[in-house]
Structure 1
Amino acid sequence: MDFQPKRISTFTLGCKVNQYDTEAVVELFKAEGYEEVAFDEKADVYIVNTCTVTHLSDRKCRQMLRKTKKLNPNSVLIAMGCYAQAAGEQIKIDVPEVDLIVGTNKRNEIIQLVENYKMNQEEYNFVGNIMDVEEFEELHISNMGEHTRAYLKIQEGCNNYCTYCIIPYVRGKIRSRKIENVIQEAKRLIEAGFKEIILTGIHVASYGKDLGNTSLIEAISAIHDLEGLERIRLSSIEPVVVTQEFLEAIAKLPKLCHHFHLSLQSGSDTVLKRMNRKYTTEEYRQSVEELRRIWPDVAITTDIIVGFPGETKEEFEETAQFTREIGFAQVHLFPYSVREGTVAAKMKEQLDSQAKDERLKALKVITDASQHAFMEQFVETNMEVLFEKSEAGKAHGYTSNYIKVEVVTSDNLVNTLKTVHVECKVGEALEGKCID
């Protein structure tokens, strides 16, 4: 009989950090001889990497866990990630089909946990007190599903404790990856063919604060001159990061993408204060203006929460007006979601869903117009595009300032950088022709 390798399958909910964690764990299984298969295929081990940002996220996690075990009742089903960290024992009650519960730590021990479970099937919950974890958990990636962009996790945890956010309680205190390990992983990714690296983490802006002798700029600079790397992109940061020192440094880093996801959450100073955000709208505005002074084509993207407890019509209008004035390239809009265990969950004057929906729709009209205006300014210009997909006579990729660009071509342009003359905007993409 031919040897059949053991099979691993995963499903990831939530953020880019979760995607990184999943890929890193898959590599651990592959190193032990497992074959990765599609999620709807029969596997020996299934991992659902969970998210707990909203109540909807929790529900999706439970639904996916129940669905997964049906694919192979004899498999080992693992709940991993933030929701597992927050509600380990409750998951076992709600979804008894789950075999192992691993939160946001001990993922580098997951192979041994699976093997031990197969032998005795007794202990199942390996969620510990994440606040006791002091060191960055080293996980590694040398390959990812995307052909041109790779995530490199440099940081874990958050110390900010915004009043609406559960994440610090499920990811723990800030822990930064040692700079030499960041460089080593970047080299592996470049050797695997990746031309763009996205530095990611739970709170990337705090990178290095626990190490005492480094910073986010030093992490960027450390990989900037590696041969074969074309672009460095950052995940979400906050306006307080945009200091004079930061601005002077990025002006000397041509590989750093002209795209900053500057977290806003509200355009009202009184709401920001209730959220325990560490900046004002004026400080935010100044950060945007300084970035645009250095790079006029820079894309400023953000997140905004609508319907925070006590948000008045006047406060919402402040957010709407501030959004108009900034002119974001793209905005991710979210209705406020109560998370038990956070300060905001206990606040009075919780808004009803109808008020949140109405405000969400009103703000979306503004943000859609803003995105359209940002993209339109690049029609009849030349833009450098790193192509990601090439199929059915079309190829598409992204510019440094994160605009999707499509060209009609029969050539396979995947993982190539081309200059494109932009001719028009169609939907949420620009279209044009390669001129090199």
Structure 2
Amino acid sequence: MDKKVAVHVLGCKVNQYEVEGIKELFKEKGYEIVDFAEKADVYLIHTCTVTHLGDRKSRQFIRKAVKNNPKAIVAVTGCYAQVSPKEVEEIEGVDIVLGTKDRRKIVEIVENAQKGNQLKFIADSNSNREFEELPIFKPSRARAFLKIQEGCDRFCTYCIVPYARGPVKSRDFNNTIAEIQQLVANGFQEIVLTGVHLGTYGKDLTDSKNLFYLINELVKIDKLKRLRISSLDPDDISLDLLNLMTQNEKICSHYHIPLQSGDEFILKKMGRRYTLDHYRKLVKDIRAKRPDAAFTTDVIVGFPGETEDHFTNSAEFIKEIGFADLHVFKYSPRKGTPAADYSNQVPSEIKTLRSSHLMKLSYELWKQYAGKFLGKEGQVLVENLSNNSWEGHTDNYLKTKFEKSLQQDITGEIVTVKLEKIGENKEVYAKLI
């Protein structure tokens, strides 16, 4: 009988990419991946600790796993396990607490646990300076995600990530080039570079090869059609990198640049390393070369001391920039971070109101941005077929749907469509040309 493993992931995109790699490790050893609600031999919960909600949901899914099959091995990995191992250990039924290291060994550790050797040990996230490679996340034949960087040493006052992920670690330069060459040779049209703090890629490498150097080599790969950069902090974008990202047509015209706050006072209290003028100029410089570029961002509401005026300033700056989309987070105090001890913590009901306001603004901004392209042609990378409609993304990351009018499978192809109508769920309906 096949061994079954059920996996649940919480949190950021990096977590999601990692867990797909973990699934591949289990598949390689003959495990069947089943739904988390099913009875399995192994349950793995890849946790998040960015907010209190992440902690709570992590605990809920751990208990759900134990309830689903009390005899199963329950393994807990990820940031919550790394930062709060004692809390995880104390949950009845947990066999393995692994954190953010040694995930490559997860199947071996699970099989040892099945023999009665439990592992409830978390290695210091600062103790290993080597990048841990996991199998690559390939959600479709069209796009592959490659994590090339781990860790962060910025220590923004609100953020638990440096404590959970440890210092900057970069994937080997030559290995990264070779991996992407192989992916492109296998037919992948788009490669997405990901990392915890992607802009610091190469900081720890001895040969001084940074992100600019890497991307400059990647765009030389003949059959690579699209290179997407998942996220870059404003202060990580050098002039050389900016010129490369705006002048090379292979690099997608979508720039996710975290803002966190549009108020100068709050930005400084957060420990961010740029000013609003710096951010404003960066966007202006990119738009001068790519007028149709999509800018998306992360924003935190309810940071300690954020007054109504600070919040209004933030909302006005967001409107001024004209983002295509926002990822809005309510501030959550994280034990061990400086901001958790700041006075003037904002009440939860005010955080909720401010979050709701920005989410509504986000939808309006998205409609304004997407509306500029109606009636125009766009190039869509086809990712999947759903309800007799093809789905994919333009290079500026507009989610696009169009009716299946051809019998052949066009998954993985870049096709030309005419963008016709805006949908309610941040998608654009189109017609294949």
Offset of residue 100 of structure 1: 0.5
Distance apart, 1:192 and its partner CA: 4.7
State the 1:422 CA deviation. 1.5
User: Do 2:300 and 2:331's aligned partners in 1 also have CA atoms closer than 8 Å?
Assistant: yes
> How big is each residue's C-alpha offset from its partner over 1:39-73, in whole Å with a ceiling of 9 and x where there is no partner?
33332222111011110111101111111123322
The alpha-carbon deviation at position 406 of structure 1 amounts to 1.6
Q: Matched residue of 1:334: which SS?
A: strand
Q: Does 1:268 align with 2:263?
A: yes
2:106 corresponds to 1:110: yes
Residue 431 (str. 1) matches residue 426 (str. 2): no
Q: Which of 237-246 and 325-334 deviates more?
A: 237-246
Q: Take 1:184 and 1:126, find their aligned partners in 2: how far apart are those partners?
A: 34
| 1:38 partnered with 2:32 | no
Query: What is the match of residue 248 of structure 2?
Result: 253
Structure 1 residue 395 displacement after superposition: 1.5
Tell me, in whole angstroms, the C-alpha distance in 2 between the residues paired with 1:190 and 1:7: 32
What is the letter of the counterpart of residue 18 of structure 2? D
- The match for 1:66 is 63
Find the counterpart in structure 2 of residue 126 from structure 1: 121
Q: CA deviation at 1:214?
A: 1.0
C-alpha offsets along residues 71-106 of structure 1, whole Å, 9 cap, x if unaligned? Answer: 32222110001011011121121x211110110001
Q: In structure 1, what is the Cα distance between the partners aligned to 2:135 and 2:175?
A: 9
Alignment partner, residue 312 of structure 2:
317
Please say if residues 323 and 367 of structure 1, whose CA atoms lie closer than 8 Å, have aligned partners that are also in contact. no
Equivalent of 1:96 in 92, 98, 101: 92
Number of the residue aligned with 1:183: 177
For 1:199 and 1:366, locate their aligned partners in 2 and report how far apart those are by CA, in whole Å: 28
Match of 1:10?
Answer: 7
- The answer for the alignment partner of 2:348 in structure 1 is 353
Q: Separation in 1 of the partners of 2:181 and 2:114?
A: 36
Match of 2:215 in 1: 220
In 2, the alpha carbon distance for the partners of 1:269 and 1:214 equals 33
> In structure 2, what residue type is equivalent to 1:350?
Q
Residue in structure 1 matching 2:134, options 139, 163, 167: 139
Segment drifting more, 209-218 vs 51-60: 209-218
Partner of 1:243: 238
SS of the residue aligned with 1:74? Answer: coil
Whichever residue aligns with residue 111 of structure 1, its letter is V
Match of 1:84 among 78, 81, 84: 81
Q: 1:57 aligned to 2:51?
A: no
Deviation at 1:180, TM superposition (A): 1.5
Mapped to 2, the partners of 1:227 and 1:9 lie a distance apart of: 39
Shift of 1:317: 1.4
Q: Which amino acid aligns with 1:109?
A: K
**Which amino acid in the other structure matches residue 97 of structure 1?**
G
Gaps of 5+ in 2: none
Q: Is the 8 A contact 1:221 1:253 kept in 2?
A: no
Q: Give the counterpart of 2:323 among 321, 324, 328.
A: 328
Does the CA contact (< 8 Å) of 2:246 and 2:286 recur in 1? Answer: no
Secondary structure of residue in 2 paired with 1:245: helix
Shift of residue 189 of structure 1? Answer: 3.2
**Secondary structure of the structure 2 residue equivalent to 1:43:** coil
> How many angstroms does 1:236 deviate by?
1.6
2:147 counterpart letter in structure 1:
K
Residue type at the aligned position of 1:234: I
Question: Is the counterpart of residue 207 in structure 1 residue 201 in structure 2?
Answer: yes
* Counterpart-to-counterpart distance in 1, 2:360 and 2:19: 35
Do 2:6 and 2:33's aligned partners in 1 also have CA atoms closer than 8 Å? yes
Mapped pair 1:164 → 2:158: yes
Residue 314 of structure 1: how far off its partner (Å): 1.6
CA drift of 1:116 comes to 2.3
Instruction: Tell me by how many angstroms 1:150 deviates.
Output: 1.9
Q: Deviations over 1:250-288 (max 9, x none)?
A: 244221110010000000111010000000000000110
The one-letter code of the counterpart of 2:44 is I
Aligned-partner residue type, residue 183 of structure 2: L
Indicate the residue corresponding to 1:297 in structure 2. Answer: 292
CA contact (8 A) 1:267 1:319 kept: yes
Name the structure 2 match of 1:174: 168
Mean Cα deviation higher: 169-178 or 32-41: 32-41
The separation in 1 between residues aligned to 2:213 and 2:205, in whole angstroms, is 12
Provide the secondary structure at the position in 2 that maps to 1:340: coil
Q: Is the 8 A contact 2:131 2:171 kept in 1?
A: yes
In structure 2, relative to structure 1, the CA distance for the partners of 1:70 and 1:229 (3 Å cut) is: farther
Give the TM-score normalised by structure 1.
0.94
Aligned partner of 2:203: which letter?
K
Q: Partners of 2:32 and 2:310 in 1: how far apart?
A: 53
- Which digits, 9 at most, give the CA deviation of each residue in 1:358-386, with x for residues without a partner? 22233333332211111111011111011
User: Are the counterparts in 1 of residues 227 and 252 from structure 2 also a CA contact under 8 Å?
Assistant: yes
- Taking structure 1 as reference, are residues 83 and 409 closer, same or farther at Cα in structure 2, changes over 3 Å only? same
Report if the CA contact (8 A) 1:390-1:413 is conserved. no
Residue 277 of structure 1 aligns to a residue whose secondary structure is coil
SS in 2 for 1:101: strand
Structure 1 residue 320: deviation in Å?
Answer: 1.2
- Structure 1 residues without counterparts, runs of 5 or longer: none
Contact 2:41/2:72 (8 A) holds in 1: yes
Which of 406, 413, 416 is the matching residue for 1:416?
413
What is the rounded CA distance, in whole Å, between the counterparts of 1:414 and 1:32 in structure 2?
A: 28
Give the Cα–Cα distance (whole angstroms) in 2 for the partners of residues 268 and 433 of structure 1.
Answer: 42
Identity of aligned residues (%): 41
**Cα drift, residue 222 of structure 1:** 3.0
Residues 415/353 of structure 1: CA separation in 2 closer, same or farther (3 Å cut): same
Q: Under a length normalisation based on structure 2, what TM-score does the superposition of the two structures give?
A: 0.95
CA distance in 1, matches of 2:351, 2:398: 29
Query: Match for residue 17 of structure 2?
Result: 20
Asked if the contact 1:148/1:193 (under 8 Å) is kept, the reply is yes
